[in-house]
Structure 1
Amino acid sequence: MTTSAAGQPLIPQPPATVAALRQAIRQIAPAALPAFTRELDQAADQSRLGSDLAPLQRFIAQWAVYVYIQRQPDLAADFQGWEESAESGDATQARQAASKIGRILDQAHAAVGLPSR
């Protein structure tokens, strides 16, 4: 992952397009590119089969949120920590982690111009 000045995003938030998101992921989280490509193919197939753009729109929204989080190392570390806590903690810890994850996702949705989950 590219480094940044303390508290600064690694890159600006890209437009919510497939090409811009792919480029951003290539820069900040190259290990996620295979998942991005696989999920894009699935969304495109679902859109073609159903003559519906909703799968592609969901794909773009999901990856725009992912990029929003991953381009901010501190936020990405917090998010990962809460995910780990949700998986390995007791019920109380899992509820707290789910709440924190929800807040981060709501913040990311708002920042990229998407309605809250």
Structure 2
Amino acid sequence: MSARPDGPYGPLIPMPALTPDALREAVSRIAPSRVPALTRHLFEATTNAQQTQSLAPLRAFVHSWAVFVAIERHPERAARLRELERIVDAGEQDPADAIVEITRIRAATEAEAGL
């Protein structure tokens, strides 16, 4: 994991290396209830990679869980993203601003994760 001090409002954990083991360790620390989903996704990705003789399923796994970790390691950002997604899902107001902010958060977390 790469350490980067961000002050008192920094991340819960450093951004891990983009490997299944490092991502699993990070998820176990910040969202332990999601480890079974990560394990299932890794199993499916490995199986699909073998069947298709392609690394694409494993790359998709790493991308998905790296973004998840990059979001969840910042509790305020994770809470804001959930609120924005609730706004979009509820359909009670114009979701345009929420969608723009969701896109911005996801782009920032992809960059933070090195994707």
Normalising by the residue count of structure 1, what TM-score does the alignment of the two structures yield?
0.87
Structure 1 residue runs without a partner (length 5+): none
Q: Distance in 2 between matches of 1:34 and 1:109?
A: 23
Q: Distance in 2 between matches of 1:77 and 1:19?
A: 26
Identity over aligned residues, as a percent?
39
Match among 33, 38, 53 for residue 36 of structure 1: 38
- How much does 1:100 deviate? 1.1
Name the residue aligned to 1:24: 26
Name the residue aligned to 2:98: 97
Name the residue aligned to 1:69: 71
Match among 11, 14, 35 for residue 12 of structure 1: 14
1:111 and 2:104 equivalent? no
Match among 57, 63, 79 for residue 81 of structure 2: 79
- How much does 1:95 deviate? 2.3
Q: Distance in 2 between matches of 1:44 and 1:97?
A: 34
Structure 1: which 4+ aligned runs deviate by more than 2 Å? none
Aligned alpha-carbon RMSD (Å): 1.3
SS at match of 1:79: helix
Structure 2 residue runs without a partner (length 5+): 1-6
Maintained 8 Å contact 2:87/2:93: no
Measured at CA, do residues 9 and 61 of structure 1 come closer, stay the same or move farther in structure 2, by a change above 3 Å?
same
Q: Distance in 2 between matches of 1:77 and 1:97?
A: 13
Maintained 8 Å contact 2:30/2:73: yes
Q: Distance in 1 between matches of 2:8 and 2:113?
A: 22
Normalising by the residue count of structure 2, what TM-score does the alignment of the two structures yield?
0.89
Name the residue aligned to 1:51: 53
Letter of the 1:102 counterpart: T
Q: Distance in 2 between matches of 1:55 and 1:26?
A: 22
